[in-house]
Amino acid sequence: MNKITLLILFLMIQINAQTGISVSPPRVYFESVAGSSTTQKITVTNVSIKNTLDLSVSLGDWDYDEKGENMMYSAGTLKNSCASWINIKKEDNYFSLAPGERKELEVTITPPTTNRDDLSAHTAVLFVSQMNPVDDVDNKGAKIKVSIRSGIKIFHRTPDIIKRKVEIQDLKFDSEKKILNLTFENQSKIWTDGKIITDIINTSTGKKIAIDPIVFYTLPGNIRKVSIPVQDLKEKGSYNVSVMIDYGDNETLEMGELNFNYE
């Protein structure tokens, strides 16, 4: 019996270059007041070489866990859901794309005239799902059926000026695993994205250890736990670590420092 494989990604999806879809952009941002409709377009492309894809559109909710991984829910589950505000044209709910063909979807969002909460930011996810699984083989050569599902994150905010605020709650070094464990919270009322910049210096020799910046995404109230590997740490001695969370201009920086001995 053939197995059914369902893939859910927020990027272009390709399976052995035989079947796949791409959606662009993968994130759509809306800004409007209550009762005002705003429309944006999403392009869906069948990047398959030979397969025609029958596709359907649906809505859901999503959130991040503390590691920044996506968690999916039914539409209307979360208190910050705007899934019920979104409208897709009836003829765009189900459609087919030949190999290489693309289609533009119009996504309209209309916040209710009466606010049901005091949140400044709401989210949803729009799924484009393949309805006709296609034949493929797995990495062991076994025959499988592949069905693809791609998600586009929807963000909505009010036009109010909202100050972003990220605060570091904890910074520790795990000497056994050579990992910096950083915990921080998005304390603002709006989503906040940025990068974590880490500098490590041996206070005895002045030698620095290079750490690649880490990109992060958060929603309001998210607590994020980030593990920063320090595998190039080899010399014993005293070290100073400075972690900077850059989530905007020079006025939106959060910094933390840590001194530790590596023996």
- CA–CA gap between residue 225 and residue 243 (Å, rounded): 14
Helix (H) or strand (E) holding 125: strand 121-130
**Domains of the chain by residue range:** 7-157, 166-262
In percent, the amount of the chain with pLDDT more than 70 equals 91
Identify which of 188, 176, 201 has the alpha carbon closest to the alpha carbon of residue 245.
188
- CA–CA gap between residue 149 and residue 7 (Å, rounded): 6
Identify which of 220, 206, 216 has the alpha carbon closest to the alpha carbon of residue 243.
216
- Phi, psi of 27, rounded to the nearest 5 degrees: -135, 135
Q: What is the pTM of this model?
A: 0.86
Q: How high is the pLDDT of residue 138? A: 66
Q: How high is the pLDDT of residue 11? A: 36
- CA–CA gap between residue 213 and residue 245 (Å, rounded): 10
With 0-12 CB in 10 A as exposed, 13-18 as middle and 19+ as buried, what is 259?
exposed
Q: Which CATH architecture has domain 7-157?
A: Sandwich (2.60)
What value, to the nearest 5°, has the Cα angle with vertex 97 and ends 96 and 98? 125
- CA–CA gap between residue 226 and residue 69 (Å, rounded): 11
- CA–CA gap between residue 3 and residue 64 (Å, rounded): 30
Q: Say whether 172 sits in a helix, a strand or coil.
A: strand
Q: How high is the pLDDT of residue 250? A: 64
Q: Say whether 167 sits in a helix, a strand or coil.
A: strand
Name the stretches of the chain with pLDDT < 70.
1-19, 137-138, 249-250
Q: Say whether 173 sits in a helix, a strand or coil.
A: strand
Q: Say whether 36 sits in a helix, a strand or coil.
A: coil
Q: How high is the pLDDT of residue 249? A: 66
- Is it true that 7-157 and 166-262 share their CATH fold? yes
For the domain 166-262, what is the CATH code?
A: 2.60.40.2360
SS3 content of the chain, % helix, strand, coil (to 5): 0, 60, 40
Q: How high is the pLDDT of residue 18? A: 56
- Tell me if 180 sits within 8 A of 49, measured CB to CB: no
Q: How high is the pLDDT of residue 48? A: 87
